[in-house]
Every structure is written in structure tokens, then in C-alpha cells.
Chains A and B, each alone.
Chain A
Amino acid sequence: MLSHLPNLGVGLGFREVCKSDLFLNRQQVDFLEIVVEHYLDVSSPKQQELEILAQHFPIIPHGINLSLGSAEGLDRDYLRKLAPLINQLNPPWWSEHICFTRAGGVDIGHLSPLPYTKEAVEVVCRNIAEVRRWFDVPLILENITYMVTLPGAEMTEAQFLTEILERSDCGLLLDVTNLHTNAVNHGYDVLDFLGELPSQRVVQLHFVGGHWYDGVLIDSHSQPTPTEVWQLMAEVVDRFPVKGIVLERDENFPPFGELVAELQQARQILRSHT
């Protein structure tokens, strides 16, 4: 099923601060990725903004709060709001993360890692099955960065991702910056990691630059993409039939021309390997 997904090209994570420049440079952006939470329970002008974006660009919704890894199950109120939005946009796919963001009534406020265990695989797959009962748009799952390594791992991170993807029949949103960040912070080889991934399931990539803080590489989404990430992207595109690549800049926005230059570089990488 994933092989039938369309090739979208190179896109941008939409941030309102860039809206004017985006429309002035429409031809440089093949598609947009929107953060789903920005358009749930919003005012009419915000809904209109989404409609305008959807009229002018293919849209991929990207969730950050579904907490697919929550052992206590999904937030049904959240799903109730999410489903109409996904159906309205009718995208070729949508994405979420392999993580949990809440437990025991506490909202952690960010993507938190899961232990690499069979139980966690079971939980994620069960939650994905429930999501599919609400809407059945192809889902791709993103790898996250993590500062905390949870004890009791029964497999490697790559094996954990692969197990979830195969059992739930989802695609992979491979965040190459996250992969690079984790490899640097936790000392593993990215090529070994890539070797363990299911090659036909890598659908989309994320990329951006982070920064160093106190000896730790932070995925702040606030800097230009570093050389190592470009190299990793080229390696990934060479190995996997990627359908789309998204620049996920969140902060410290440079002049839009610099973002366009990064999109063009990504496009060049994509073209040279396909």
C-alpha cells in the first residue's frame, strides 16, 4: 500500500510567521506539513487559514499529542476532534510519533521515549488499531530524539521501530536530524541503524539543524541543517524510496531565501538519487 503513495517532493513545515513569504515563493515549496494541534478547537480565521493553505498546497497533517505509546489508551476527546480534521484534509498520509506524552493525568508536554519492549510494541499497535476505527488514512510514524534511555530494553531502537511498523502496517517518517542527534548523544552508528529499517516503509523525511548545549546535541529545530545531516539524508534517499522530505524549522527563522536554499538542496539530493 505504501508504494502507491504519491511522490510529493520537498516541503516545509508550515509556521504562521512564514506565511507571507511562503505565498511569495510558492513554486519553491511542493507541499506543506501542518501541525494538527494548531487547527483543533480554533477560531474561524484559523480554520480559514487552513482552507487557504489546502487550496494552494498539498497538506500533510502532523500530530504531536496523540500519545500513541500511552499504555492507558488514547484520549477519545482528542480523537473526536482529530478525525474530522484529517477527513476534511483527505491527505495521502498523516503522521504521528512513536512516543508517549501523558500518563496518570499528567501531560508531560513533550514527546517522551518508550522502552524498547514487546509490551510497548503491543501498546502502540493496539492504539494504532483504535485510530484506524476513527479514520483510515495511511499513517506514518516518526522516530523521536530522547535524552533519557529507559532501562529494560529487549531490542534495539531500530528493531523496536521496525517491529511496530511491520505489525501495524505503517510507514516511517524518518527524522534524519533526530537520528543524527541520537547517534551523537548515545554513541551508535547511523548506518547500522539504517540497515535494520524496513526499506519499503520509509515514506517521508524530516530535516533541520539543532545546536549544542553543555556537550549535548539538542534538536532545537532552530539552526541551518548541518553537513552531517545532509550526508545522512543522501544516504537515506539512496537506500529508501522516499516520497517526501520536509524542512522542519520551528525557531530562529532566517530570511526566507535561506529556507528556500535548503529546500533546493534537499530537492537536488532527492533528484540525484531517484
Chain B
Amino acid sequence: MDVDISAHNIIADMSGVDFLLFYGCIITITLLTCWKLVKDPTKNQPLPLIPHELDAYEIAYLRSGISEVAKVVIFNLIQSGYLQLTGQRINRISNQDDLSQLKPIECEVVSAISYSYEPKVFISSISQKLEQYCAVYKQRLNNEQLLYLDNWQKSNITIVLIGAIIIFGLGAYKLLLALAKRHHNIGFLIAMGVVSTLFLLWLVTKHSRISYRGQAYLQQLQETFLQLKTKVRFAIPSMADYSLAVGVFGVETLAGTSYDSYYKVFFPPQIARTTDRNSSSDGSSGGSSCNSGSSCNSGSSCSSGSSCGGGGCGGCGGGGD
């Protein structure tokens, strides 16, 4: 079938090579523009202050969503004696019927445990129910722009669509013209279109659920409360210390503590070795990493308290031997 597209314009009349160069420039400009416009507006915003009263559930929600909140809730219920871990399963402790001291989300979890469950399975099943309780965390985090907001994503999709229309429109037009003139050397044209598509798709999907501000804030929390990791392992932490540690760092922080069994439910021993990130504080096994902001192996290089009270410092009392 012959299609007579009698088009005479600058694009239609371009030779193949010239058009490819022109198309390449259009694609580059369009993609760069999209990349510039598709961004997280929180990138250089100042961070919110760390609140006086920290909510471990809210922090867990920020970190990884509802399933992490569930892990912290279950852990707190184990701590406070409403649930117990028997082997790899959790079950309710029968003589704990008074739920009046519990938060609504905790009541929901306790009430949902009618017999013994594997925690991972239980969390999957209860996540939907917990969504309503986590809505308040989501709202607070959205208000602070710590989560990637839906309307930013909608605006990103719009930008990418416009870019796609420009790229495909131009490419499709030239493709049709080429086919009409029975030109079959269209491989480069198609390839450029496909690569552009992939880039645009990446642009629109690359963001995490946490905004830049949220990631920076979470990192700030983790650096501020880093000592909690040591406290839960080597000191006498309170329930609140444990709860906050798990909220901020995850269940991994319970490794080697009194609640090591809970940690092992989610990180069975063969997985624990390859994901252990806690060895940096006293030397490291192969492939481990050390947070540059933390005490690396040899203790902090600049945090030792300097006795500045004058002559006669602490060392004198160490006993000379």
C-alpha cells in the first residue's frame, strides 16, 4: 500500500543522518530538561528538629513502612509481656488480658494473635489492618516532607509524559515518513527511542519512598542515637531504649542482646553473617564497612573527654605500676 504523505517541511526533508543528529539533540535537551524538573524539592531544605518525645513507630514507618512498624510493635509486646517468642513462633501470653495500657496499634496486634504464628507470616497478614493506624505517621511525615509526596510523583509523571510526547512524536513522525518512502534503515531511530524511553521510565521511578529530607533526617537520627546500639548490647537498657533502637535501626540491632532470638527470626544465622554491619566497632571481618561518623574500631579519634580542670587529671589516679 502506498501512503502518500506529501509533507514538505524542514524535518520531513532532512536526510537520515541529519535527522538522527537533530533527533539526538532534541532527545538530549528533552531528557536533561526532564531530569532537571523531575527532582526532589526537599534536597537542600533544613532538617526538622529531633523531637523531645520520639515515637519509635513513626521512625520505623519512615525507615521502611508498615512491616517495620509491625516488627517494632511485636517486639514491644514481647518486652511488655503480652506476647512471647517460642522457638520461631509468637503467641499471646494467656494471662495478659488487660489491654488498657496499650496503644491502639498494639491492641490490634495483640487481638489478632489467636494462636501461634511465625512473625514474618503474621506481619504479612496484618499489614493491611495496620495501615489505618500508620496513617497518622504517614500524615505527620508528609507534613514535614520526609516522605516522597504523591503530588510530586504526579507532577513528575506529567513532566515525563510531555518529554515522551516530544520524543516519540518527533520520532514517530519521521518513522512514518521513512516507512512511506520505503526506507528501512530505521534501526538507529528506534534504538534512540527505546533508550530515551528507558531513561524516562527510570526518571519517574528512581525516587525512593523517602524524600531527600527524610533520608537526611533518618541518617541524623541514626547518627545521634548510635550509642543505643552499644547500650542494648553491653549496658542495661530500658524498654524505651530497646524500642527506640529497633525503631531507628531495625531488628538487626537486637543481635547479641537478650532479644537475640527475635532478631534471628528475621535473620537466620546463615543470612546474619553476610549482612552483619555491626563489626566495625571492634575490628572488621572481610567486606564490612565502618560509618565514618562512628567510632571505628579503635574508639573515636576525637571524642575523648578532655579533662580541662587544671593540673592533676584523671590519669594520676590510675595508680602507678
Using a CB–CB cutoff of 8 Å, the interface residues on chain A facing chain B are 13, 15-21, 23-24, 26-27, 35, 37-38, 42-43, 45-46, 48-49, 52, 55-56, 62, 64, 97, 99, 110-113, 142-148, 175, 177-178, 181, 206, 208, 210-213, 216, 218-222, 248-251, 255
Contacts and interface: CB of A to CB of B under 8 A. Distances in A.
Nearest to B244: A24
B117 to A, nearest CB: 32
Chain B interface size band reads 35 or more
B309 A175 contact: yes
Interface in B209-231: 220, 223-228, 231
- Please name the 8 residue pairs, one residue from A and one from B, whose CB atoms are nearest each other, closest first: A45-B293, A144-B310, A145-B310, A16-B303, A250-B305, A220-B314, A219-B309, A20-B227
Contact of B309 (A16, A19, A23, A145): A145
B314 A250 contact: yes
Nearest to A43: B292
B300 interface: yes
Contacts of B302: 38, 42, 46
Q: Would you call the interface of chain A mostly helix, strand, loop, or mixed?
A: mixed
B313 A220 contact: yes
A46 B220 contact: no
Contacts of A144: 309-311
B305 A13 contact: yes
Contact of B312 (A38, A147, A208): A147
A42 B301 CA distance: 10
Contacts of B220: 48, 52
Contacts of A251: 305, 307, 314
Contacts of A112: 311
Interface in B285-321: 291-293, 300, 302-303, 305-314, 316-317
Nearest to A42: B302
19 contacts: A19-B224, A19-B227, A24-B241, A38-B303, A46-B302, A48-B293, A52-B220, A64-B306, A144-B311, A147-B312, A178-B309, A210-B312, A218-B317, A219-B313, A220-B307, A221-B309, A222-B314, A222-B317, A248-B309
